[in-house]
Amino acid sequence: MKKLLLFLAVILLLISACGNGIDENVDENIAKDTMQSIEIVKDAINNNTVVEDLPDEDLRIMSKYKDKYEQDDSLNGVDEQIIAFGITVVSKYARSSLLQSEVDKIAEDIEVTEKMISTGEPKFEDF
């Protein structure tokens, strides 16, 4: 029984170590910052919360994200595209009134961003 529990613990450890969802070709800080802002947007949409009703802390996080990366000319490849899509998600949400058509477009951009983070593959080859 102890061997089985040890085996299961090792398997869980391996799964959790491999399951951070960030590809090795993606800058970890960029991925984490982007996902933090995207999670705020996803939660807000799920709770039908417009930007004016967000907690100050969430607004600060999204604003800091945009300020940190919006003018960063040192980015390239997949990292640059992750930032471009991440900022687009935040901006679209901030301007939206949560109409279904707006939510659908934001969801598409979130899906693309999350896929780039997990695969390390850029959406566009020549960006």
- Domain residues of the chain, as ranges? 22-119
Residue 23 has pLDDT above 90, yes or no: yes
Identify whether the C-beta of residue 65 lies closer than 8 Å to the C-beta of residue 86: yes
| Chain segment 29-50, per-residue pLDDT in tens | 999 999 999 999 999 999 999 9
Residue 112 has pLDDT above 60, yes or no: yes
Identify whether the C-beta of residue 79 lies closer than 8 Å to the C-beta of residue 30: yes
Residue 15 has pLDDT above 50, yes or no: no
